[in-house]
Amino acid sequence: MSAQAALPGDATQGKRLYDASCRSCHDAGVYTRKERRVNSLEALRNQINGCAHMTQQNISDTNQRDLVKYLNETFYKF
């Protein structure tokens, strides 16, 4: 089993959350640029928490896992 498949979370739900909460600030370019700031799963989790803080949203552990799974499967592939 790959590390990506072993990640907890629901990527389908993560995409819904991304479309509803993240897409207005981030297009795919932020995830695919060469000098991206996120270079690990931990950094991805921290970035999600930082975005939630900046937008004054509470993000549950479940929603965070779903977003991490979606973003990792779609863009990062850690």
Dump pLDDT digits (tens) for 1-60: 455 567 999 999 999 999 998 988 888 888 888 888 899 999 999 999 999 999 999 999
CB atoms < 10 A from the CB of 66, how many? 23
* Ranges of each domain in the chain: 10-76
Residue 1: per-residue pLDDT: 46
Mean pLDDT of 48-77: 95
Q: What is the pLDDT of residue 3?
A: 53
Is the pLDDT confidence value at 75 over 50? Answer: yes
Query: What is d(CA 42, CA 19) in angstroms, rounded to the nearest whole number?
Result: 22
Identify which of 19, 3, 10, 1 has the alpha carbon closest to the alpha carbon of residue 69.
10
Model confidence at 62, in pLDDT bands (50, 70, 90)? very high
In angstroms, the CA 38 to CA 40 distance is 6
Q: Is the pTM of this model over 0.75?
A: yes
